[in-house]
Amino acid sequence: MPTADESRPSPDSDLDADFAAAWAIADTIPGWLKIGQARLLFENARALGPGARVLEIGSHQGRSTVLLAKALEPLGGSVLCVDPFVEGKLFGGTPTRTKFENNIAAAGVGHLVELHAEYSTELRPRWTEDFDLLYIDGKHDYWTLSDDLLWAAHLPVGGPVLIHDCYSSIGVTLGILAHVLPSRVLRYQVRSDSMALFFKGSPSTSDRLRILGEMPWWIRNVLIKVLLRLRLRPVARAFGHDSPYDPY
């Protein structure tokens, strides 16, 4: 099974330096994006053409948004952000949107970011513009993920689709099994922890088998979540999980 390292372009000192600078800023913003996942996201965005546009579903406080904007900045590209910033303790609402806007401004990328403060499932049927990369990190239930995958219709052939909490979230993984495993238009490439990379294109049998090959890791993650909720952290550590948070 390929690793994230095997999916990367050959080493490039400028790319390394640009990523390090972008990550130094993004990593100060609260969120769940890990450095390996950030690298996968950054490199696929930087590999796009001049004027490229990325559509991000789920922006939270802007951790991944800043990273994407920094990757696209030399290309004259932009990030289209879709997040309703729902009110309430779970999602943060207006205070989270304020933090998002402040973080984007502080990173100096406000001019590269276009916010659509709507539910992705409500905006999608009205959307008509194409983009070059799709990043899905919205609501992690089966129904929302299933709908969010339909945004890929606006990608060119070969366009990257990156999905966070894949093979970690139950809803997201069930959506992958139901819609991507039998799909004729998305092929699985690789993951970094729970960040999975797909490309728009006809999948091979080996592409489909790689999805099935992630199932033991998904089952392990579900088990860890159960153990954490039962406050059995020592048992979770026996499965290689040394964090109080869910695996992502």
| 26 and 135 belong to one structural domain | yes
| 108 and 206 belong to one structural domain | yes
C-beta separation of 180 from 198 below 8 A: yes
| 182 and 248 belong to one structural domain | no
- pLDDT category of residue 245 using cuts at 50, 70 and 90: confident
C-beta separation of 188 from 200 below 8 A: no
pLDDT at 1: 45
| 145 and 240 belong to one structural domain | no
- HSE of 223 in the Cβ direction (CA atoms, 13 Å)? 13
| 132 and 221 belong to one structural domain | no
| 190 and 224 belong to one structural domain | no
pLDDT at 91: 59
Q: Give the whole-angstrom CA distance, residue 5 versus residue 159.
A: 19
Q: Give the whole-angstrom CA distance, residue 179 versus residue 82.
A: 22
Q: Is the confidence at residue 87, as pLDDT, over 80? A: no
| 25 and 110 belong to one structural domain | yes
| 76 and 87 belong to one structural domain | yes
pLDDT at 238: 87
C-beta separation of 114 from 81 below 8 A: yes
Q: Is the confidence at residue 203, as pLDDT, over 90? A: yes
Angle between the N-to-C axes of helices 13-26 and 63-72, in degrees from 0 to 180, rounded to the nearest 10? 150
Considering only CA atoms, which of 83, 112, 88 is closest in space to residue 100? Answer: 83
Range of the domain at 235: 214-248
- pLDDT category of residue 90 using cuts at 50, 70 and 90: low
| 220 and 207 belong to one structural domain | no
| 116 and 226 belong to one structural domain | no
* pLDDT tens by residue, 160-186: 999 999 999 999 999 999 999 999 999
